[in-house]
Structure 1
């Protein structure tokens, strides 16, 4: 973490400069058995490609609102940082009808159709797989993102004082996201090398902080677990040990 970092995208750039090879997001889905581990470099590459998709093909501009209808998932974390990179508002669980674009998982496609702007669908399949049959009216993220550029440069500098994140009735600027994450990391004693296991949903600030922002600002990593309630206690204890978890939030 750099003291001059003012947006979540800044935090990712600092993490990439400091140690690109360390783990950043390890994702488990305990309904399917999926496990994915992304280094800082791999995660940042996904963010760059997604930001290029947003700014280029989807023509998103700073201040636009993107409704993210997605669960706690590694690809959701990518979209959160991509939105920060472009300067658009990531409206987590937001109203598609009030959004300029919508990004939907497979279970919310009908709701997402209320958006009159661009629509992107994520299959949320293992290894970032595509839909067997693309949903009508949506661009399939897994089809569109691989061909995007590996480096991202915004058309205009992102204003840290501009709106960046909306969740559970709160709207935060990029600077406020960083400040809150720093406060959370400090309050939880997180520092470089911290390994945070979170089974919380991305439905409020607490879940977003535990599942991404606090570990990022601290120079640590997150073990993000979906459907953690399906894991037997003894298997959870083994995961904590195997993943060298230093802090838990569930």
Structure 2
């Protein structure tokens, strides 16, 4: 994290330069038993590949709207940073009919078909697995992303004052995302490197996005992102908090 960082993508670049090997996102799905841990370097590699897919294959650029019909998931976090890297607006839960690109999980494919632009489907299977049968009219993210380049450079500069994120109908510029994430991090218990927040909040509000990604990124901390946490039970949660060295929780 540097004082000159103005967009979420800037925050990720700074994190990569500072300590690429440290954990950034640890994801649990207690409905399937999945656990995925991504270091800063691994997460940044996924972001670069996804940004190359978004810019190169899907033709998205600054100002284009990308509707993300996805739950709180490590791949959703990747798409949020890929949009920031390109300069596209990540519209979380937004209207696909009004979007230039839609990125959908398996439960939202019917709604996603109203997008007249490019459509990408995520199976959200363990280990980033692909669909057994690709949904008609969609590119399968797990098929398309592995062959993308490991480094990303935007075709056009990203303006931090332009819209970057829409959450629950509220629009944020890239600079606003960074400023709010930094300002609100202490209230979430994120005080700097070593801070580790467990979040089970959905990604459909600013609060969920901040607790589940942006605040940790802005402070040099890390996040344990949990889906279907209700399956775990209080005893299991206590064990996870201890084993993952969690310092703050939001659920």
Is the Cα contact below 8 Å between 2:202 and 2:208 reproduced in 1?
yes
Quote how far apart the aligned CAs of 1:187 are: 2.8
Question: Partners in 1 of 2:152 and 2:187 — Cα distance?
Answer: 33
Q: How far has the Cα of 1:189 moved from its partner?
A: 4.1
Q: What TM-score results when the alignment is normalised by the length of structure 1?
A: 0.99
3-state DSSP of counterpart to 2:226: strand
Once the two structures are superposed, residues 213-245 of structure 1 have per-residue CA deviations (whole angstroms, 9 ceiling, x without a partner) of 001101010000000111110000000000000
The 2-side partners of 1:138 and 1:85 are apart by: 23
Matches within 5 A, 1:29-44: 29-44=29-44
After superposition, residues 109-120 of structure 1 pair within 5 angstroms as 109-120=109-120
Computed over aligned residues only, the root mean square deviation of the Cα atoms, in angstroms, reads 0.6
* Match runs of 1:115-154 below 5 Å: 115-154=115-154
Q: Which residue number in structure 1 is paired with residue 157 of structure 2?
A: 157
In 2, the alpha carbon distance for the partners of 1:153 and 1:100 equals 21
Q: Please list the CA deviations of residues 46-79 of structure 1 after superposition, one character each: whole Å capped at 9, or x if unmatched.
A: 0000000000000001000000000000000000
Number of residues paired by the alignment? 250
- Return the offset for 1:169: 1.3
1:5-154 alignment, distance < 5 Å: 5-154=5-154
Question: Aligned pair 1:249/2:247, yes or no?
Answer: no
Runs (5+) with no aligned partner, structure 1:
none
1:188 Cα deviation (Å)? 3.2
2: distance between equivalents of 1:63 and 1:186?
A: 31
Q: Aligned partners of 1:193, 1:78: CA distance in 2, in Å?
A: 21
What is the CA–CA distance in structure 1 between the aligned matches of 2:15 and 2:155, rounded to whole Å? Answer: 23
Query: CA offset at residue 198 of structure 1?
Result: 0.2
Structure 1 residue 96: deviation in Å?
Answer: 0.3
The Cα offsets for residues 125-167 of structure 1, whole Å up to 9 and x where unpaired, read as 0000000000000000000000000000001110000100001
Counterpart of 1:204 in structure 2 is: 205
Q: Which residue of 1 aligns with 2:182?
A: 182
Residue 228 of structure 1 corresponds to which residue in structure 2?
229
Q: C-alpha distance in 1, partners of 2:145/2:91?
A: 21
Paired with 2:182 and 2:43, the residues of 1 have a C-alpha distance of 21
1 CA distance for matches of 2:168 and 2:100?
19
Contact 2:85 2:154 in 1 (8 A): yes
